[in-house]
Amino acid sequence: MAETLTITALGHEGDGIAETASGTKVFVPFTLPGEVVTAEIEGERGHLVSIVRPSPDRIEPACKHFTVCGGCALQHWAPEKYQAWKRDLVVHAFAQRGIETEVDPVVPVGPHSRRRAVFTLAREDKGLVLGFNKRDSHDVLAIEECPLLVPEIETRRDKLAALANRLVDQGKRARMTVVSTDTGLDVSLEGARKPGRADYEALGRAAVDGAICRLTVDGAEIVMSRVPEIRNDPIVLYPSPGGFLQATASSELAMADLVDSAIGKSSGPVLDLFSGIGTFTLKLARRFPVLAVEGETKLLEALDRSMRFSKGIRAVTTRRRDLFLNPMAAVELKEFKAVVFDPPRAGAKAQAETLAKSVVPKVVGVSCNPATLARDARILIDGGYKLTRVTPVDQFLWSGHIEVVATFELARKGASTARRVRLS
């Protein structure tokens, strides 16, 4: 039976929140605050049947696959309200840790800006399907458009499918990571069949036809016509096959500028933790000596190449280290004037604890998870750091995810420098 509901708010994943007649909280996807809807209720989930009274902030979605594709949650919301909600996600995450702080307006990104895509490939009765998982399903949706992706990827879906056609067997699935670089598409296949001798010529032809500069299968290089490069003169980044890369170029630039500005005129050296391929390392190295620490060998190898081909940078030293198991100790941090950390979604709790015991004058945290960044911020604040700026960057358009850059300065040791707030 369908029930009429009033949507009162949005949850952190973008689903509308309502209360049933029996007082149960339910989450209804693709609804907006203030809307009256009918929905079929299953436990805590509501399946939208109809919109009785739409919000004035409801707009036409940008993609024909919206609500079916599992990627986007909020294409139907006007940009101003959507960005305000994203900012509130950050405010609430910090408030949950008792931190009251000013949060900057969201730095937006536009459609057709996602330069890195991860497709699912599945061999079905009608042939190979390239796309994304359907919402709440393991089935693959063969996409015909994606307004998130840069045109260099979106317009070559058929070429990418043809490239993988020989390597995905019936009933099997594989993953294809595609990065648009300045020299072509960098394509990495995982879970596909290992190419045989007869496959190489066909793969080479498909790569050339698809404007692909490099193709790797399960880490093995199959074709490389040009070295993948991401140029931001005088810096050149060399992505590792299938490795981590900031999702959009504009958000990467915004975050790098925020980090650089936060460091200010500190007189070297700088420590870049969870450095990846050097997104922040190389920009900072134009002004300071930098120690880049990263746990993945392939990312450090990419950074090493970037160091050799970028111009105008100072000394960069790299070190392989698992910062989750072996964080930099306070005594090791003494020589640095600033520290940047950009961990995975799990955050950097152990590293934050040692930073909180250090005397590093400035710390900058970057995270795609406001909740874990707020946790780490609480640790730093309780250790005597002052939170001076928080900036959200909407790298993940139309989703419930948001990137955040937070800046800290060393205050009087042993004194908490943020006001604690009580959540109602």
Amino acid identity, residue 163? L
> What are the distances in angstroms from CA 276 to CA 246, 272, 296, 341, 364?
10, 9, 8, 11, 16
Rounded CA-CA distance 401/397 in Å is 8
Rounded CA-CA distance 62/76 in Å is 8
Rounded CA-CA distance 292/190 in Å is 28
Amino acid identity, residue 153? I
Rounded CA-CA distance 4/188 in Å is 47
The closest of 97, 88, 116 to 372, measured between CA atoms, is 97
Rounded CA-CA distance 130/55 in Å is 35
Catalytic residue among 69, 72, 146, 368: 368
82 by DSSP, 3-state: which?
helix
DSSP 62: S
Q: DSSP labels for 261-320?
A: HHHTT--S-EEEES-TTTTTHHHHTTTS-EEEEES-HHHHHHHHHHHHH-SS---EEEEE
Residues whose CB falls within 8 Å of the CB of residue 150, separated by 6 or more in sequence, listed in order: 112, 113, 114, 115, 180
Contact criterion met (CB below 8 Å) for 345 and 268 = no
368 is catalytic: yes
Q: Residues 142, 148, 153, 157: what is their CA dihedral angle, to the nearest 10 degrees?
A: 10
CB atoms within 10 A of CB 84: 12
* 188 strand-pairing partners: 177, 216
Catalytic residues: 368
